[in-house]
Amino acid sequence: MNTQIQQLAAPKTRIYAFLADLAIGFVTLGIGWLIWSAILWSQGTTPGHKLLHQTIVDEKTLQPLTWDRMAIRELLFKGFIGGILSSFTYGLFYLADALFIFREDRRAIHDHMARTLVIQKDGESSGRIRF
């Protein structure tokens, strides 16, 4: 990957994106998050990542994910498989998944499963949410 052109999202901003997704899901009882996500998946992002100017890209092509790949990443890898593994490990899988963003490649376990990277858009590294 050419990191001069594509900047990996910092762990701090990935955590903020997760918290934004969580807050949106909580406030809207999950329905608003799902509807907003379904709209944004075609852009290769989630509501939280969109607010923090991040895009999820394919690890090899560095192109934003298509709607179907985003749905698989979010619903299958993070939701279904993550939920099953977490239920067998008393929630430790989700903790391990989150801690992976502190590695040099900044990829969570679900990023490895989906073969994705989270990229910070140029000039947008402050971690502040902008509407």
Average pLDDT, the chain: 92
Q: What integer is the mean pLDDT of 54-81?
A: 97
pLDDT band (50, 70, 90) for residue 3: very low
- For the cut 50, the answer to whether the pLDDT of residue 61 exceeds it is yes
Radius of gyration of the chain (CA): 14
- For the cut 50, the answer to whether the pLDDT of residue 66 exceeds it is yes
3-state secondary structure of 55: strand
Which of 104, 105, 127 minimizes the C-alpha distance to 115? 105
Going by the DSSP 8-state scheme, the letter that residue 129 receives in this structure is: -
Specify whether the CB–CB gap between 17 and 49 falls below 8 A.
Answer: yes
Specify whether the CB–CB gap between 33 and 24 falls below 8 A.
Answer: yes
Specify whether the CB–CB gap between 6 and 122 falls below 8 A.
Answer: no
pLDDT tens digits, one per residue of 9-20: 999 999 999 999
Ranges of each domain in the chain: 7-120
pLDDT for res 122: 73
Instruction: Compute how many other C-beta atoms are within 10 angstroms of the C-beta atom of residue 46.
Output: 26
CA distance 12 to 8: 11
